[in-house]
Amino acid sequence: MKSIVITGCNRGIGLGLVKYLVKDKISPKYVMVTCRNLQNAKELQEIADANKNVHVLQLEVDKPETFDNFAKDIEAIVKEDGLNVLFNNAGYSPKSTRINFVKAEQMMETFSINAVGPLMLTKALLPILKRAATINKDKPLGIERSVVINMSSYLGSISMNNQGGLYPYRCSKAALNMITTSLSIDLKPDGILVTSVHPGWVKTTMGGPNAPLDVDICSKRIIQLLKTLNEDHNGQFYSYEGHKIDW
């Protein structure tokens, strides 16, 4: 893979993925990482200062009106190579979510960040994803061609839901999983693979301090999974350990 865009990289799993990618033996030529506020993303900026292949860009995934300009910025970096990987990682989970407390605004806001944003960003970056898939058409489906990863959650699995609640988060990730399925069908003729990934229960602001998995281990496993993606993964839902998850 020559190029990757990852959203939500100033902290949590996104930051972990960037740290792992720059340490990796074959670090991509272009690691383009986003955060909402450039001034607050000090650690990310330090990584970019120390690694010439890291480009930090500002992006709010619930502002689709900015995506065409963002796509132009990415195109200016990757040029004729196109974009190999879009990793829709940024996500949001509101706190109070039992039936008596859920609010319409929470549902809309969470949908906008976790489902609408990844879909519209994929749409905006499609021409450059297609370019990478086309110029690498002699290679099998995977990160040497073109891939869209949607960071989902097992909490978005309908078949695994035996606890209820968490309406905004569960519903938005279930919607994201449906987006993965439709995109995987629509983009297959273009040689673009699309898959949903569950990162495990990870110690981040979202995962909380009781989560069993460290960001480092989760990030390493996800990058390993990324490298193994092939036609079998298209339109599927996988855990960070590479196990298939039921929708």
Could you tell me where the DSSP H helices lie in the chain? Answer: 12-23, 42-50, 67-78, 104-111, 117-135, 167-186, 215-228
Q: In terms of CB distance, is 88 or 146 closer to ligand NDP?
A: 88
Query: Which one of residues 202, 222, 223, 245 is an interface residue with ligand NDP (CB under 6 A)?
Result: 202
- Residues 218 and 239: beta-carbon distance below 8 Å: no
The first and second tokens of residue 22, run together, are 């720059």
Restricting to residues 55-74, which ones interact with ligand NDP according to CB under 6 A? 59-62
Distance CA 145, CA 155 (A): 30
Distance CA 94, CA 165 (A): 12
**Which residues lie across from 85 on neighbouring strands?**
4, 147
Site string for ligand NDP, 119-158 (x = CB under 6 A): --------------------------------x-x-----
Site string for ligand NDP, 72-91 (x = CB under 6 A): -----------------xxx
User: Cβ 78 to ligand NDP, closest distance in Å?
Assistant: 21
Query: Which one of residues 39, 162, 205, 210 is an interface residue with ligand NDP (CB under 6 A)?
Result: 205
14: contact with ligand NDP by CB under 6 A: yes
Q: Name the 3-class secondary structure at 60.
A: coil
Distance CA 6, CA 201 (A): 20
Query: Which one of residues 30, 92, 237, 240 is an interface residue with ligand NDP (CB under 6 A)?
Result: 92
36: contact with ligand NDP by CB under 6 A: yes
Site string for ligand NDP, 221-240 (x = CB under 6 A): --------------------
Distances (CA, A) of 183 to 68, 101, 231, 236: 19, 33, 14, 11
Q: In terms of CB distance, is 27 or 66 closer to ligand NDP?
A: 66
User: What radius of gyration, in Å, describes the C-alpha atoms of the chain?
Assistant: 17
Binding residues for ligand NDP (CB under 6 A): 7-8, 10-14, 36-37, 59-62, 89-92, 113, 151, 153, 198-199, 201-202, 204-207, 211
